[in-house]
Amino acid sequence: MLAKLSIVKVKLDREVNCYVVSDARSKEAVVIDPGMPAEKIAEQASGLTIKYILATHGHPGHVGGKDDLK
């Protein structure tokens, strides 16, 4: 069975975008480019288990919230 994925764009500080990609059935998610503030990301990921955190590159705006989401 194919997964039904949801992709939510989260607008963060300094015009950085983060994405929360989740599977509706398993309630598992991947967070892409977890910048700051991490609270905005956590709000969108509420009720989900974050399985993976991915950064497209190492600029602080794209990784600043990773530790708060672990």
Q: Give residue-wise pLDDT tens across range 11-58.
A: 999 889 999 999 999 999 999 999 999 999 999 999 999 999 999 998
Using the predicted structure, report yes or no on whether residue 1 has a pLDDT greater than 80. no
pLDDT band (50, 70, 90) for residue 6: very high
Of 18, 20, 30, residue with least CA distance to 61: 18
Using the predicted structure, report yes or no on whether residue 2 has a pLDDT greater than 80. no
Whose tokens are 């990921």? That residue is 45
- The phi and psi torsions of 55 (rounded to 5 degrees) equal -120, 130
pTM: predicted TM-score of the whole model, two decimal places:
0.91
Output the pLDDT for position 37. 95
Pairing of strands 28-32, 17-23: antiparallel
Longest CA–CA separation in the chain, Å:
39
Q: Are 28 and 21 in contact (CB under 8 A)?
A: no
